[in-house]
Amino acid sequence: ESGRYKLYLFSICSSDMNLDSSRRCWTAVASIWSSGNNLPSSMVGLGLTYALTVTNYLNWVVRNLADLEVQMAAVKKVNSFLSTESENYEGSMDTSQVPEDWPQHGEIKIQDLCVRYDPLLKPVLKHINAYINPGQKVGICGRTGSGKSSLSLAFFNMVDVFEGRIIIDGIDICKLPLHTLRSRLSIILQDPVLFSGSIRFNLDPERTCTDDRLWEALEIAQLKNMVKALSGGLDAVVTEGGENFSVGQRQLFCLARAFVRKSSILIMDEATASIDMATENVLQKVVMTAFADRTVVTIAHLVSSILEAEQVLVFSAGQLVECDSAANLLAQQDSLFSVLVRTHK
């Protein structure tokens, strides 16, 4: 009798059934097989009940452990931020020692500059020496990873300058308070940045300029007619990230913002990488006319965009390997600049 009952349960457990039913049947088989006929039926029923309950609890535990693991990633990230050394916002130079109109001319001296992203990492720029005259148009080029964008970050003290220095109009920028330094230079990035608010706020967030000055900047950037057609004009709404404008228009807005700030140094970090050729030609034309008396440092996405630069700096593996006018470098068939031009044709 007992043997036939065990065989019957075994056949049920081996049949095609759902997972919960299978667990309950195997629990019944284990109960009967382990203790024969000595186990009370009430204990077998209790075992079956717990078999089903424990299954649900195990699913709940596994699901919550997985969710906890995901949530702890945020805690780990916050902990890494807490251990990150803060930037030296104050600097070693008092703000009163910096002229109100600094930088007046836009003269840049780069002396034995070495840059790294972390003290534990290798330098990405190694002993760079260069001189940029006031008002000069300079192009920077090189292959991917050569250190072009790292140089633009060094101008704003956003990387670790552990050797050498950058002197702008006689002042070592590493000694300046960060707010002073970053508010006196202008940069246009590959991904243009606009903030939620109005066009007026994006051009002049501190509200120090007149409307005439803002309209003049928009006219220089060839955006005046477009802004006039908007409802509200200068007070027209800019959505988050400037999504209600095209990438080219956002680039031109950033150019107008740079003009409003009257900075004598403009850095363009692959600013034409995301726009079409027509908008790129407009951008280049505006830079050459509106910023004719200002120093412009262009990090080139396409080598063709800096062929008319007065000076070209060619980087390779974090080192400055060539520095001359574009015409002189092109005249040298074995120069890296000539190779880059031929490659990108």
- Please compute Rg for the chain using Cα positions: 33
* Cα dihedral 97/102/106/111 (nearest 10): 20
Residue 239 has pLDDT above 60, yes or no: yes
Task: Give helix 247-261 / helix 211-220 axis angle, nearest 10°.
Answer: 130
Q: Check pLDDT > 60 for residue 13.
A: no
Q: Average pLDDT in the 272-295 region?
A: 75
**Strand-strand pairing, 160-168 and 171-172:** antiparallel
Against a cut of 0.85, is the pTM above it?
Answer: no
Q: What is the pLDDT of residue 44?
A: 65
Judged against a pLDDT cut of 50, whether residue 8 lies above it is answered with no
Tell me 86's DSSP state. P
Confidence band, pLDDT 50/70/90 cuts, at residue 154: very high
Q: In the beta sheet, which residues pair with residue 295?
A: 265
Residue 111: per-residue pLDDT: 93
For residue 334, pLDDT beyond 90: no
| Element housing 101 (H / E) | none
| Confidence (pLDDT) at 41 | 66
Domain boundary assignment for the chain: 2-81, 135-151+171-343
Calculate the average pLDDT of the chain.
Answer: 81
Q: Are 308 and 302 in contact (CB under 8 A)?
A: no
Rounded to an integer, the average pLDDT of 166-195 is 88
Residue 326, CB half-sphere, CA atoms under 13 Å: how many?
16
Q: Once rounded to an integer, what is the mean pLDDT over residues 89-103?
A: 82
Give the pLDDT of residue 131: 93
Of residues 137 and 16, the one with the higher pLDDT is 137
pLDDT surpassing 80 at residue 85: no
Residue 99 pLDDT more than 80?
yes
Q: Which CATH superfamily hosts domain 135-151+171-343?
A: P-loop containing nucleotide triphosphate hydrolases (3.40.50.300)
**CA within 13 Å, CB half, 138:** 27
Task: Check if the beta carbon of residue 322 is closer than 8 Å to that of residue 337.
Answer: yes
User: Residue 29: pLDDT above 80?
Assistant: no
Task: DSSP for 23-66, please give it.
Answer: HHHHHHHHHHHHHTT-S-HHHHHHHHHHHHHHHHHHHHHHHHHH
Phi, psi of 4 (to 5 degrees): -65, -35
Q: Is 177 in contact with 89 (CB distance < 8 Å)?
A: yes
Write out pLDDT tens, residues 101-119.
888 888 999 999 999 988 8
Helix (H) or strand (E) holding 343: helix 336-343
Percent of the chain with pLDDT over 90: 19
pLDDT band (50, 70, 90) for residue 321: very high
Separation of CA 325 from chain center: 31
State the maximum Cα–Cα separation within the chain, in Å, rounded to a whole number: 106
> What is d(CA 61, CA 99) in angstroms, rounded to the nearest whole number?
64
- CB atoms < 10 A from the CB of 336, how many? 18
Summarised one tens digit per residue, pLDDT across range 159-168 is 888 899 999 9
Instruction: Give the Cα separation of 276 and 180 in Å (integer).
Output: 34
